[in-house]
Amino acid sequence: MGQVSFPTLGLNWNISTDTVNHYGSVYHVSTSFYPGQNGTVGLLGHHTRYSAPFDNINQLKAGDQVIITDYLTQKKYVYSVTSNGDIKADYKTNPIQFPAGSFNLTLITCYPPGYQEAAYMTHLNLVTVEPI
């Protein structure tokens, strides 16, 4: 599908659409929207396994950019962090939602690192869309 880049962390990861258990990539949550659609995009990445793409996600600060390069649409979607560290302890019984009506991105990983007791989320808003 594409790639997600974290300029402030110096990281780039491929985006997979079939499983979260790939080395070198994060997973596009199938119940979420795609970049450019009027809804929240969800990306899931391991914190400690499978290349640990979201190992340093807690270092993102408000205003930091995250960029999704979508090879299908030939566009670059630039998002800005609005909040980081939202912990959802009941994610197993109350799944994370990806609502329509906003151009947002939610990054999700396990919490605490290496365990699945809760979901750690980073929220971002779309800032700009550019051609590749």
Each residue's pLDDT tens digit, 54-89: 999 999 999 999 999 999 999 999 999 999 999 999
Domains of the chain in start order, with CATH, are 2-131 (2.40.260.10)
Core vs surface per residue 103-132: b (16+ CB within 10 A) or e: bbbbbbbbbeeeeeebbbbbbbebeeeeee
**Dihedral sign of CA atoms 91, 49, 123, 103 in order:** negative
> How much is the pTM?
0.94
In angstroms, what CA-CA distances link 57 with 39, 48, 53? 22, 11, 8
The reported pLDDT for the residue numbered 86 is 92
